[in-house]
Amino acid sequence: MGNFSENIVNQRFKKVFEALERNNLIKGKSDIAKKLGTYNHVVNSILKGARNVTVDQLHKLFENYEVDANYMFGFTDDMFTDNLTIALPTRSLNERFSGGRMNITLIPSRAVAGYALEHQDPGYLTELPKFSIPNLDGNLIAFEISGDSMYPTITNGDIVVCEPLERGDVLRDNNVYVVVTDVVVAKRIQQVREDEHGGQLRLISDNSAVYKPYMVDLDDIRQVLKVKCRLTSYAIN
């Protein structure tokens, strides 16, 4: 049996599979195999480096999952095209509890502007309301979202629960983050390679017909928070 694990396309296929699974866009090997017009054991063999991805399977990967063809052949680090919407885990607003560890600090919409200036002040956070949600651990920050720039992924009045990241933590393109500069925004991000002028992030709204992508310099970013889930009062399908 040959070893095809050194083939760049097979390596990238494995990374795409892991990203799709991590973001709940597939439910294992049998799910993606069906979309690629093949079988579970074939996908398993590709992931193990025992066979190559076929051209037909690649075309179906691009068509079904908006995978960037240039990524698969090693020409770019952007895994998905701009059209891909990676879903956020969604839970009901009714799941909030005032008991338990009270580990989630809520930033109401009226206080979001102040967060950009005062989030590093421990005293600022202690004055804000707190709640907990089963199975969401750690010291988390929740923002009440105002506006429609991330519609339909995040709607006006939703709350996004976030994990603050440290500088140097890995960011994943096309995922949703809260980015703090002199303002606080929830956007999808794409990392732009650093040059002599420093690195940047491209901030992308899901409501792309109204809100166009824009760039921010890494030096202007005060904090990045990973969005773990959204809380909504809308019906959950």
pLDDT in tens, the chain (237 residues): 456 778 889 999 999 999 888 877 888 899 999 999 999 999 999 999 999 999 889 988 988 888 888 888 887 788 887 555 556 778 788 777 776 678 999 999 888 888 998 888 878 888 899 999 888 889 999 999 999 999 888 999 999 999 999 988 989 888 899 999 999 999 999 888 766 556 899 999 988 889 999 999 999 999 999 999 999 876 444
Backbone angles phi, psi at 61, to 5 degrees: -65, -45
- What is residue 96's predicted lDDT score, i.e. its pLDDT? 79
Question: What pLDDT, on a 0 to 100 scale, did the predictor assign at position 3?
Answer: 62
Taking the C-alpha atoms of residue 102 and residue 33, their distance in angstroms, rounded to an integer, is 42
Q: Are strands 140-144 and 130-131 parallel, antiparallel or unpaired?
A: unpaired
Distance from C-alpha of 137 to C-alpha of 131, rounded to nearest angstrom: 11
Q: Please state whether beta strands 198-204 and 214-217 pair in parallel, antiparallel, or not at all (unpaired).
A: antiparallel
SS3 (DSSP) at 219: helix
- Output Rg (C-alpha) for the chain, integer angstroms: 20
Please state the domain extents for the chain. 8-72, 90-232
pLDDT at 237: 41
pTM flag (> 0.85): no
Specify whether the CB–CB gap between 150 and 159 falls below 8 A: no
Report how far apart, in Å, the C-alpha atoms of 234 and of each of 25, 80, 184, 220, 231 are: 21, 28, 24, 35, 9
CATH architecture of 8-72: Orthogonal Bundle (1.10)
Q: DSSP strand E in 86-207: where?
A: 90-92, 104-107, 130-131, 140-144, 159-164, 176-180, 184-195, 198-204
Domain 90-232 has CATH 2.10.109.10: yes
The pair of structure tokens assigned to 198 is 């420093």
User: Which pLDDT does position 123 carry in this prediction?
Assistant: 84
HEC secondary structure over 14-78: HHHHHHHHHCCCCCCHHHHHHHCCCCHHHHHHHHCCCCCCCHHHHHHHHHHHCECHHHHCCCCCC
164: cis peptide before it, omega within 30°?
Answer: no
Q: Are 202 and 82 in contact (CB under 8 A)?
A: no
